[in-house]
């Protein structure tokens, strides 16, 4: 993923199971641009591991941010990882609390 700050993938056998991609400056902001998991593998810890790895990798960064859909299941997933919401129009901006 050319020009990304950081990217990590998860694999099941020879099949891509998920990926997380972060953009930013690695000092004041790390923005999760993508956190994707193959639908049939959701709920099996793939996304949690990818997100936790990103949180660990960017623990030193002042702002850890992502924007996602306003979906209760999705918001619950991020809340379990310690992210809190900031209200906005039709989306939520999540940041390390």
Domains annotated on the chain, with CATH: 6-96 (3.40.630.30)
> Structure pTM?
0.87
Determine the pLDDT at residue 87. 64
* Residue 21 to residue 50: CA distance in whole angstroms: 9
> Would you say 64 and 93 are in contact if contact means Cβ atoms under 8 Å apart?
no
Write out pLDDT tens, residues 9-58.
999 999 999 999 999 999 999 999 999 999 999 999 999 999 999 999 99
> Would you say 30 and 58 are in contact if contact means Cβ atoms under 8 Å apart?
yes
Predicted confidence band at 89 (pLDDT cuts at 50, 70, 90)? very low
> What is the chain's Cα-based Rg?
13
The residue among 93 and 49 whose pLDDT is bigger is 49
Write out pLDDT tens, residues 51-77.
999 999 999 998 898 888 889 999 899
* Residue 80 to residue 64: CA distance in whole angstroms: 15
């Amino acid at each position: 993923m050319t020009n990304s700050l950081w990217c990590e993938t998860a694999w099941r056998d020879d099949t891509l199971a998920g990926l997380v991609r972060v953009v930013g400056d690695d000092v004041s902001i790390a923005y999760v641009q993508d956190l994707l998991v193959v639908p049939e593998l959701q709920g099996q810890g793939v996304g949690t591991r990818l997100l936790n790895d990103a949180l660990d990798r960017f623990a030193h960064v002042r702002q850890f941010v992502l924007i996602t859909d306003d979906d209760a299941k999705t918001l619950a997933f991020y809340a379990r990882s310690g992210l809190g919401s900031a209200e906005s129009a039709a989306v939520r901006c999540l940041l390390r609390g």
